[in-house]
Structure 1
């Protein structure tokens, strides 16, 4: 009984050490994540092998694993930029991105876990200031929104493509102009819209007038052709035809052919 405590204490100590060693030697990586292995006695960060995938892993207790999100992520950035004429513009843009999985070790070694703050956000800010500085506030507010968005993406992509980051999209969420400038632009756009509407009504009225003129000209030409074709002989024949049809009426009458001054038949009767 006296020896039991002396045996139990070392056993408990060894058990605790084993528990700590096992806990330090296991890593569980969730879905959408990957792990970068750092070998304390083996050359540091492992960059020549793929990162550790999802699931349960055993590692030496003296090594470390840094877990990264490798799914598409979004970062939102709000910034003040200057337009081409020096006006202060508030721009809100977001980036869709993801670290390049097979280069995760190099990203960890060269940029670190805070690569978003070190690399991505400064690049977006620089690209946005460069692009917006080429445009006027009116272009930013209306017609050039999509073009600006694409240019910011292109300039950001040129830089981050060599930084082990895959940029998927840049979205310009909001452009806020000074209130006085915004009001002036809206008034100008309204005037332009009213002018376009007035021009449209003028064009429509002109086309309608041309249509009426063409129809009238067509009728006039048709009447002229018809008048030119109606000779005395044709009129006389048509008069005879009409008279003969009248003779078929049940009323009693006498037809004298060629009795009129124009040679047309005369109809005498007691109607």
Structure 2
């Protein structure tokens, strides 16, 4: 476009110089030819537009937006049109309390009030893309700065509007996924009306007030101590039960010995013991006296 304008200016200069008595009059024809060549060259170059991969182009002619989209690759266009490119790949817009982590420098986290009146800080990442066929509408109705005009305000508003239904602790723990699903639906609906597609929503961090965090930590520590004490008591109870059973077994054994064994049974048990000793290769049995009391002598 610049070359075309430059060529026209050179042609106009040649015409003016040809009608005036200036030193350029002798070169007016040559200047005119040079201007025409530049116009042709500029028109030839402007007719070809390369759209990079992952982008689409929107044509504008004298402020009028063309609804036909230029897709990636080489395109032949009117040399007078201007082309605005839109990125249609997945984009990430992050709002974080960590400096230099989000799209805006500094602390850009979302601070909200929950149903119990506590202030909670949320870090959020919005993954979205531009719908290619809606790129001309975005340029006409929003412009190419849709991040600041659409993505950021809609995401922050959806967070605040839905957070008032939850208590701070629930938002931090049990209701976190439910909360994320709700704001996803709200943002997705608003985006779709404006030519954007919400792909994923990530509630990356929920930060509770310091007083609430300390209360939760104290509760967790108390629960852990109670569980530990319960384990100790259970172990002591099991140990006491084991000792009771052992004592009961010893008492039962002693009672059986004292009341249940006859003289014949004791004599039988003695014979069995003597038999085991007699079969041992390291011993010999010598019967002395009347044969009722054996004397056992070692064979080694």
The normalised TM-score by structure 1 is 0.74
Is residue 283 of structure 2 the alignment partner of residue 253 of structure 1?
no
Maintained 8 Å contact 2:125/2:204: yes
Maintained 8 Å contact 2:284/2:297: no
Structure 1 residue 10, shift from structure 2 partner: 0.9
- Which residue matches 1:45? 66
Secondary structure at the residue paired with 2:284? coil
- Which residue matches 1:58? 76
Is residue 195 of structure 2 the alignment partner of residue 164 of structure 1?
yes
Structure 1 residue 168, shift from structure 2 partner: 1.9
Maintained 8 Å contact 1:82/1:88: yes
Structure 1 residue 4, shift from structure 2 partner: 6.2
Structure 1 residue 16, shift from structure 2 partner: 2.6
Per-residue CA deviations over 1:22-56 (Å, capped at 9, x if unaligned) read: 44433222222111234669x84315xxx322233
- Which residue matches 1:130? 161
- Which residue matches 1:155? 186
Structure 1 residue 59, shift from structure 2 partner: 1.0
Per-residue CA deviations over 1:133-169 (Å, capped at 9, x if unaligned) read: 2222333444544443343323322332343322122
* In 1, Cα distance between equivalents of 2:276 and 2:119: 93
Secondary structure at the residue paired with 1:84? coil
Structure 1 residue 214, shift from structure 2 partner: 8.0
* In 2, Cα distance between equivalents of 1:90 and 1:269: 91
Choose from 22, 25, 29 the match for 1:7. 29
Q: Aligned pair count?
A: 258
| Cα RMSD for the two superposed structures | 3.8
Structure 1 residue 69, shift from structure 2 partner: 0.7
The normalised TM-score by structure 2 is 0.68
Choose from 114, 121, 129 the match for 1:90. 121
Structure 1 residue 68, shift from structure 2 partner: 0.5
Structure 1 residue 66, shift from structure 2 partner: 1.7
- Which residue matches 1:74? 92
User: What runs of 5+ residues in structure 2 fail to find an aligned partner?
Assistant: 1-23, 96-108
* In 2, Cα distance between equivalents of 1:245 and 1:89: 83
Secondary structure at the residue paired with 2:126? strand
Is residue 137 of structure 2 the alignment partner of residue 99 of structure 1?
no
